[in-house]
Amino acid sequence: MNILETSLKDAYIIEPKVFDDERGFFYEGYSEKGLCDKMGIKFEVVQINFSKSSYGVLRGLHFQSEPMAQAKLVSVNYGEVWDVAVDLRENSPTYGMWYGVILSAQNKRRFFVPRGFAHGFIALSDSVDLMYAVDNFYSQKHDNGIRFDDPELNIDWKINVNQIVLSEKDKNLPFLRQKLAEYSK
């Protein structure tokens, strides 16, 4: 397993060691010893989530507030996405910065998104099956998000904005400054 640092503190790309032969392939999708020990983190999977999306579907930018914050290990089982994380930890040296990576069934990469980050992705192929393991349970009460098109973040979503398909919930998320103002009340 190869663990790559990103430009965001504590966010990593994981490249598994793939064993290919005429039958297909095998790799470890998650290994506590291989992942947590090498990165020096604690990540105990309590829930695994799946989503299916078509081209242009953007899901995000989502996060859960404390005490229900979640770290995520994101992977794609079919298709390709542009996966994005935004550091929302106010004391972090990379606060307010974003990082994106192509995740696909072909490259088999994983993206580790720590607690305190917003996360989102856009489907770049006709169909995408995405899976993410989390270390805390979902709580509707703590469900939060920020706008995908926040001008301060200026995220490059890799496709024309007119092709992006959003849920009503995601269309109405606040900008980062609005979210921070809510927390400071």
The tokens for 146 are 């920020």
Report yes or no on 118 lying in a domain: yes
Report yes or no on 89 lying in a domain: yes
Give the tens place of pLDDT for each residue, 81-133.
999 999 999 899 999 999 999 999 999 999 999 999 999 999 999 999 999 99
In the chain the beta strands, taken as DSSP E runs, fall at 2-5, 12-15, 19-21, 24-26, 47-54, 58-64, 72-78, 80-87, 98-104, 110-113, 117-123, 127-134, 143-145
Report yes or no on 175 lying in a domain: yes
Supply the pTM of this predicted model.
0.92
**Count of domains for the chain:** 1
Residue 132 known to be catalytic: yes
Report yes or no on 139 lying in a domain: yes
Report yes or no on 75 lying in a domain: yes
Q: Based on C-alpha coordinates, what's the Rg of the chain? A: 16
CB burial string 16-47: b at 16+ within 10 A, e below: beeeeeeeeeeeeebeeeebeeebeeebeeee
Report yes or no on 6 lying in a domain: no
The CATH number for 53's domain is 2.60.120.10
Give the tens place of pLDDT for each residue, 1-48.
888 999 999 999 998 887 888 988 776 777 677 676 777 778 899 999
Catalytic residue among 62, 78, 99, 119: 62
pLDDT of residue 93: 96
What pLDDT band is residue 184 in, cutting at 50, 70 and 90? very low
Report yes or no on 38 lying in a domain: no
Report yes or no on 28 lying in a domain: no
Give the tens place of pLDDT for each residue, 35-82.
767 777 788 999 999 999 999 999 999 999 999 999 999 999 999 999
DSSP state of 162: G
Q: What share of the chain is helix, strand, coil (3-state, %, to 5)?
A: 15, 40, 45
Residue 119 known to be catalytic: no
3-state secondary structure of 34: helix
Range of the domain at 134: 45-184
pLDDT of residue 183: 54
Catalytic residue among 12, 99, 119, 132: 132
